[in-house]
Amino acid sequence: MGNTSCSEQVQARLGPILTSMEHRSDMIRLGSAPHVFPALLVVLLLTFAPVAAEGSSEVTELHVISSHSHDEGAFTQGLEMHEGSLYESTGLYGSSSLREVDPSSGEVLRQTQLDQSLFGEGITIVGDTIVMLTWREEIALVFDIVTFEIIANHTYSGEGWGLCYDGNHLVMSNGTSDLTFRNPSDFSVEATLLVTNQGIGVDFLNELECVGQTVYANVWGNDSIIAINKTTGEVESTIDASVLAENESDGYNDVLNGIAYFPERDAFLITGKNWTSMHLVSFENSQTPSDGNISKPLPLNFLKGILPFLLIAAFVIILSSMRLLSVIIRFPLLIIARRQTEKPPPPTDGRSRGE
């Protein structure tokens, strides 16, 4: 009975401790929460990441680097830089021209007039030639870039608006939401691409600029420039250029039109029809992918979306840490209890000693 009594005493003492150990066992599982919840957090991040990546057309601000003069008499239809020289085409019957313009002063360095029957439209450079569209004449003129002499022409169906060259194809707009990809040798159509923004076709595509995998486009009557994925046709970002139009005439035809990439500055020259100024600008936060491998930063909206989950995870981790702290504090008591159980029971009488 003495041993039994001792055992009961030990059990009585160990009882609360064992209870604590049982709790500790649970707490160890909870104590592992700091390892579990970060993993849970990663799962949440991975779960929501694809949703964030689907966000497509972003509005991008532009930054004006410098402003330059522009011939107010130029009804700008095409603008392109090549090896440091700026070329511009102008429209209207009787006023259409091809020009070389000093990009700093805006001075017209040389120009050639088109026949009065032709309404000039977009231009682009292919090798040592400049190709110019006409509005409704269904003729593309090919100029020698050195002499500005017409050395060839192509025919096509429908209207001609904007033109750029991506190194393989001529990319052409006609005022609709379609871009046609043409063989630069014979102007034959090799592909047609529907341009969409959030699934909706974008009409009035006008002056174009090919930069890597992106086709930038002025949209007629709109103070925005859109960046189009050349493969999918989806608008990846919209550049708000309204600040550039503020000091220009608000005439019906005096619209933003003319975008030329300036590779040496990684910037764009922007102007409009009959505008007094031309601006060198950069597109802030814009993505100008050259090979499609540029990773996108996590959108701010995505971070806002997961903020509640982050707060909940942080709260649980803190709570678990507090319970773990409780176990740590009780741990010395457990050690003391174990030492007490290891001591021989105090002698009570001779009979007990004899057993």
Residue 194 and residue 201 in contact, taking contact as beta carbons nearer than 8 Å? yes
| Least distance between Ca ion and beta carbon 209 (Å) | 4
Stretch that binds Ca ion, among 73-81, 134-142, 184-192, 318-326 (CB under 5 A): 73-81
Cβ-based nearer residue to Ca ion, 30 or 239: 239
| Least distance between Ca ion and beta carbon 218 (Å) | 9
Cβ-based nearer residue to Ca ion, 79 or 313: 79
| Least distance between Ca ion and beta carbon 287 (Å) | 19
Cα dihedral 286→289→290→294 (10° resolution): 120
Q: Which of residues 206-235 bind Ca ion (CB under 5 A)?
A: 209
Cβ-based nearer residue to Ca ion, 27 or 132: 132
Q: Please tell me the count of residues contacting Ca ion according to CB under 5 A.
A: 3
Stretch that binds Ca ion, among 23-31, 51-59, 77-85, 168-176 (CB under 5 A): 77-85
Q: How far apart are CA 129 and CA 149, in angstroms?
A: 10
Query: Which residues lie below 8 Å from residue 292, measured CB to CB, with a gap of 6+?
Result: 213, 231
Residues in the chain: 355
Cβ-based nearer residue to Ca ion, 259 or 324: 259
| Least distance between Ca ion and beta carbon 248 (Å) | 19
Q: How far apart are CA 196 and CA 228, in angstroms?
A: 9
Cβ-based nearer residue to Ca ion, 80 or 159: 80
Q: How far is CA 317 from CA 245, 310, 314, in A?
A: 54, 10, 5
| Least distance between Ca ion and beta carbon 208 (Å) | 6
Cβ-based nearer residue to Ca ion, 137 or 209: 209
Q: Which residue is nearest to Ca ion (CB)?
A: 209
Q: How far apart are CA 170 and CA 309, in angstroms?
A: 49
Stretch that binds Ca ion, among 78-86, 127-135, 287-295, 337-345 (CB under 5 A): 78-86
Cβ-based nearer residue to Ca ion, 173 or 238: 173
Stretch that binds Ca ion, among 57-65, 71-79, 183-191, 280-288 (CB under 5 A): 71-79
Convert 259-305 into a string of H (helix), E (strand) and C (coil).
Answer: EEEECCCCEEEEEECCCCEEEEEEECCCCCCCCCCCCCCCCHHHHHH
Q: How far apart are CA 259 and CA 80, in angstroms?
A: 7
Q: Which of residues 151-210 bind Ca ion (CB under 5 A)?
A: 209
| Least distance between Ca ion and beta carbon 81 (Å) | 9
The long-range contacts involving 345-351, CB below 8 angstroms and separated by at least 24 positions, are 345/2, 345/3, 345/6, 348/2
Q: How far apart are CA 82 and CA 75, in angstroms?
A: 21
Per CB under 5 A, does 80 bind Ca ion? yes
Q: Which of residues 293-322 bind Ca ion (CB under 5 A)?
A: none
| Least distance between Ca ion and beta carbon 124 (Å) | 7
Cβ-based nearer residue to Ca ion, 20 or 213: 213
Q: How far apart are CA 138 and CA 20, in angstroms?
A: 90
Query: Which residues lie below 8 Å from residue 26, measured CB to CB, with a gap of 6+?
Result: none
Q: How far apart are CA 206 and CA 135, in angstroms?
A: 11
Residue 140 and residue 159 in contact, taking contact as beta carbons nearer than 8 Å? no
Per CB under 5 A, does 100 bind Ca ion? no
Cβ-based nearer residue to Ca ion, 79 or 118: 79
| Least distance between Ca ion and beta carbon 37 (Å) | 53
Per CB under 5 A, does 254 bind Ca ion? no
| Least distance between Ca ion and beta carbon 247 (Å) | 22
The pair of structure tokens assigned to 118 is 């032709």
The residue type found at 244 is L
Residues that bind Ca ion (CB under 5 A): 79-80, 209
